[in-house]
Each structure stands twice: as structure tokens, then as C-alpha cells.
Structure 1
């Protein structure tokens, strides 16, 4: 990339916490944040926000009568966005742009309104305006009183990283100097869980499945290449980041490269055995940079058999005999769909800041990097739309 673009702040709310400090401390613990929740008549594994975080969202919802009709996906984005711009020192009323996407959008509200329609053959007045995808960025723009452009989109599970691509493009074009980008997802609903179960990829982990005696173990075994069945679990949350032109004392990490590619479609949900899309996106993000300079990769790794191993094989193709340190956060917080890439960037930035790696318990690491200078972040969604973002430490 010709002109450096910095991440100057990150705001998030997820099962890991609602502050950067809480999130980092929970990354350092060898525990997961899943629980069994009732979805209809069945209980399934999921990673919801903590009770403390839910309380914060409830207070936000009740702080303004207009917010009481909003879906959690919008409220999560509002909460994270307020935090991010406060950290960056941006002011309400500035002309920064906003691009916050979601894979599913206002899932709970949509299901609620649809159920009302099935029962009464009519629906509430606000059913349409509160369930459109543009709802997320529009309400964030209203809340922060920004005068810049506002964009919402859905590009399945790579949505948040596509938001980063878009923010970078706006800044590099000269049409904006600052952009708030990220993703938000609140899809822990019966119909969404049923859809994932229908794909035969959702975790059916039972306590007796644990390889460790007398321990529950980990319901999601993302990056466990020996697993015999898929173990994807859904989580919820939002993560947004402030992008600014240039490098300053506020810079947390520099976006050194961006890449994207689309898989030649052979099936509605699958990718090739060596993830051609990831090979393309990673090579584009690297550009002229020697692959040996990359110290770590935060993988997409959804916890499915094919998804995990195909991304790994793509990394082998691109990095050959010297693989970077590999990690993911989905064994802790599950797959947060459109927000997942932004949460992965948060993990990458935290590792760069603290100069400390976060290991996955299913991998035996033969070596680990002494220093972290460059970290690559991957995301991909149904249809094979991959994005890779190369971050470097601000030194």
C-alpha cells in the first residue's frame, strides 16, 4: 500500500468482555465462553454476551425511546462505536465515514415480526425500518452525529473485513480522512441455529466427548485438525475500529496490505480443498512483502472439518516451508458471522500491542515467534469471498 492507514482505536463488545483490558485478560485464560442455551425445545451450545455486558446494552436501549425498538445487532454496534471514537478522540459531528456490516442483521426482530405476521396476518409499523440492513450504520451515524457517508452491507462471514477494505478505499481515494468500520451480529435465535444444524456443521459436543478425563473440554475445536466432526458454534457481539490516514502517536497498528479473492463456485457453501480464495487474498495482501516476514496469522477457522483444513492448506501453499504462528479465537467465542473478522483484527492488534501470542489448545507448537511485527488476518464467507488484512506494529 502506498499510503499508510492506521487503526487508531478499537471498540468491541463480545463474550470476551466490553473493554480492551477485559478482552485481553480473557484471551490469556485457557477457557472458553460457551454455555448451553435453550433454542425452542432444544439446548445448544452458544457464546452469548456476559450478564454485565447485557446489562450495558439494556441501559443503552432504555436511554432513548427511539432505541427501544432497535435490534441487538444495532445496539451492539452503537455501544462499540461510542467506545471506539472516544478512544480515538473523534468528536460527535465530525465528517468521518461509517461502514458497519452484518451477515444476518436484525435477526431476532425479523423472526419476532414474522411470527406476528403468521399469527395475525399483519405486522407492526416499525417492522420494515427496524429490520433493514442499512439500519446499523444509519443508527450509528445518527447516534454519533457524523456528517460523513454511511454504508451497511452483508458479504456473509467476511463482512467486517470487507468493511475495512471499503474504508481503506475511501481514505486512499481522498474522499475521506477517517472511517469507522467493522461488523455486528446478534444471531443467537432458534431459526438461525436450526439453519446451521441443517448444514450438519453445528457442534454436538457432549461432556463424554472430551479427550481429557473429568473435564468438559472445548465444545468448539476450531483448528483441531484431528477432529472427526464439525464443531462450529455461534457467538454474538460487535467490533469496530477507527481508520485514519497516516501514522500518529495514537496508531495501534498499520494496515500494510489488503487482499481479496472469490472462490470459483462449485457448491453453495463449500470451498476447494486448498482454499483458492484464501491463496489469492493472502498473496494480494502480501504484495511485494516476503512471506517470511509474517509472524502470525489469525485464521478464520470456523471449527468445521473442511473449513479449518482447507485454510491451513492454503497457508501451506502461500508460506511453503516456513509457516507463521497460527491462532484463532473461535474456540473461545464461536463464529460471530459478520462481526468475526473485526474480532479477529482486535485479537491481532492486542497481540501486537502486548507482544504476546494467544495459543490454541489443539495445536502442538514446535516454535513460537520471539517478536510480533506483522500479523495477517483472514476471513471468508459462504460463496468463497475471502479477505486478508496485513497489520504491522507501529514502532
Structure 2
């Protein structure tokens, strides 16, 4: 990229917390955030954060009919622009997406329809994906462009791509980008189980490696799929150029798709990732990359395909690899921005966050971090960050 884009604020709400200190401190321990819900492992918010969202829901009569995916986004967006010092008069753009959207609300309305043979009046407007950016814009009272989309699990990083493109085009000089997901619903979990990719581990059983860390993301030696769903939202404030208050700079972006062999799978060597990572690197020597935050959701084929792609692109020197999905699960459309947050924190603290069940050489100095995401449809995105 000829001119960098500064990330001037980051905010999230996830099982790790909602403040930089709590999130970083949780990254420093080797505990995961999984608990059982209706007999299935999930990563959900602690009680105090659930109470915060309930308070937000009760704060406005209009918000009582909104899905958690929208409320998560509103909460995280408020924090992000406050940290960045933005106001509604800045007319910044908004691009917030979700893989599944209003899952709980949709399932509720559909259940009512099956029971009463009649749809609720608000069933359509409150379950569209455009709901998220529109309600965030309403809440923040901004007058800039609003974009919502779903590109499955790479949604949040595609939002970042869009923000970068708008800023570089000169059509907008600031953009709020991110993803939000509230997928811990019976039908959403059942969909993942139907694909046979959901973890069957029991974290309450005897202390085997599988029970201690039921999501074995990035582990090339796992013998069964281990993906676990998590909820959360994460937002980033983007501004053109280098800023004194920048948390990090975006210095490269890459994206690619590949011909589908299966609705839910990558090719064996993840050609899309090879292309997206190479594009993001640009003129930078692959040997100079210190860390890669991988997408690796915990599936055997998906994780191995990304590892194969990394080994192909970084054939001389493999960067230190890490992921947060062993700790907070896969938050689908929000996961890419939660990965960005993890990467920025590592840059700020100059500390590599490892995966407890994997051996990795921690870099002594962290200058460049590459962040990956991909979703159903083999739509990969790679973002290159620097201090």
C-alpha cells in the first residue's frame, strides 16, 4: 500500500471481556472460555457482560426488539468511536457485517410462525443483515455511508477491506469497520454439528489434552474436528495516513477466492490463502514477517490447508503461528476483527501470545503481523499490520 491506514481505536465485547486490560490479561493465561450450554460446549460472555447487554436493551424501547448481534455491535461501536474521539459531525462511514445475523430472533419468529401460522410484524425488518450497520448508524447519529454484508467467516476482514477502499478512494476519510455475531442458538449449532465439524469433547471429563483444551485449533496432530462456536463483536476505527494516536498501521491487504470443490471446504493447499497472503505482503520479504494470526477454526482439513498455504508462501522461514480460537472459539463473522485486536495487542505489548498445547518460537521483536480469515466459499482475506 502506498499510504498506510491507521487503526486509531479498537473495541470489542467477547468472552475475554470488553476493556483492553481485561482482554489482555485473559490472553496472558492458559485458560479457555468454554462452558456447556444445553450439553454443548460454547464460548459465551461472563455474567457481568450479559448484564451490560441487557441494560443496553432496556435503555431504549426500540432496542427491546433487536437481536443480540445488533446490540453487541452497538455496544462495541460506542466504545470504539469514544476512544478514537470521533463525533457524529465527522460523517464517518460504517461497514459492519455478520455471518449469520439475527439468529436467535429469526429462530424465535420462525417458531412463532409454525405455531400460529402468522408472522410477527417486525419479523422481516429486525432480522435482515442490514440491520446491524443501520442501527449502529442510528445509535451514533452519523450521516456517512452505511454498509452491511455477509461473507461468512471472513466478513469482518472484508469490512476492513471496504473501509480501506473507501478511504483510499477519497470518498471518506474515516471508517468504522467490524463484525458481530450471536450464534449460540440451537439451529446454528445444529448446522455446524450437521457438518460434523463441531467439537465432541467434554471439558468436565478426565484431564486429557482433549478435555483441557477441547478446541484444538492450529494443532496439525488432532484426530477429529474440534470447532466450537463463540459470540462477540469487534470494531476498528480507520483513518488515512500515519497518526500519533494509531494503535497500528495497515500496510498491506490481500484477498482471493478459488474454485469450489465443496460448499464448506478449502483446497488441500488453500490456494486462496496463498494468493491473499502474497498480495498483502506486496514488496515485503516474507522472511520479515514475525507472526501470523491464523484463521484455523479447529477443523482437520481447514486448519491443515491453511498451514500448507503458509508453508508454501513462507518456505524459507515460517513466522510464529498463533490463534485465539482455542480460547474463545469461532465467532464466525466477528472472528477476523477479534484476530486483528489480538495482533494489535501483541504489537503494543511486544509479546507473542502462544497456543498452550503447541510449541512455537516466540519472536524477540514484533514488527510485522499477518492476520488471516476465510469462510465458506473459500473467500480469503489477509491483513498486514505494523507498529
State the TM-score bracket (shorter-chain normalisation): over 0.9
Aligned to 1:162: 158
Measure, in 1, the Cα distance between the counterparts of 2:377 and 2:61: 39
Deviation at 1:20, TM superposition (A): 1.3
Aligned to 2:100: 104
Matched, 1:306 2:298: no
Matched, 1:82 2:78: yes
Q: Deviations over 1:10-58 (max 9, x none)?
A: 01000000111111100001000000101xxxx1000011111111101
Measure, in 1, the Cα distance between the counterparts of 2:325 and 2:64: 31
Q: Deviations over 1:201-245 (max 9, x none)?
A: 000003557535xx9411111111111000000000000000001
Give the superposed CA RMSD. 1.0
Contact kept, 8 Å, 2:157 with 2:337, in 1: the verdict is yes
Q: What TM-score do you get using the length of structure 2 for normalisation?
A: 0.98
Q: Deviations over 1:226-274 (max 9, x none)?
A: 1100000000000000000111111000000000000211111111111
Structure 1 segment 1-395 matched on structure 2, within 5 A: 1-38=1-38, 43-206=39-202, 207-208=204-205, 210-212=207-209, 216-365=211-360, 367-393=361-387
Is the deviation greater in 382-391 or in 356-365? 356-365
SS at match of 1:251: coil
Deviation at 1:280, TM superposition (A): 0.4
Contact kept, 8 Å, 2:272 with 2:379, in 1: the verdict is yes
Contact kept, 8 Å, 1:94 with 1:145, in 2: the verdict is no
SS at match of 2:69: helix
| Runs (5+) with no aligned partner, structure 1 | none
SS at match of 2:321: strand
SS at match of 1:36: strand
Measure, in 2, the Cα distance between the counterparts of 1:110 and 1:234: 18
Measure, in 1, the Cα distance between the counterparts of 2:330 and 2:76: 18
Contact kept, 8 Å, 2:347 with 2:367, in 1: the verdict is yes
Contact kept, 8 Å, 1:230 with 1:304, in 2: the verdict is yes
Q: Deviations over 1:298-356 (max 9, x none)?
A: 00010000111110110000000310010000000000000000000000000000000
Measure, in 2, the Cα distance between the counterparts of 1:384 and 1:198: 19
Is the deviation greater in 12-21 or in 216-225? 216-225
SS at match of 2:260: coil
User: For this pair of structures, how many residues does the alignment match?
Assistant: 386
Measure, in 1, the Cα distance between the counterparts of 2:278 and 2:103: 35
| Runs (5+) with no aligned partner, structure 2 | none
SS at match of 1:312: helix
Q: Which runs of 4+ in 1 moved over 4 A?
A: 207-210
Deviation at 1:362, TM superposition (A): 2.2
SS at match of 1:46: strand
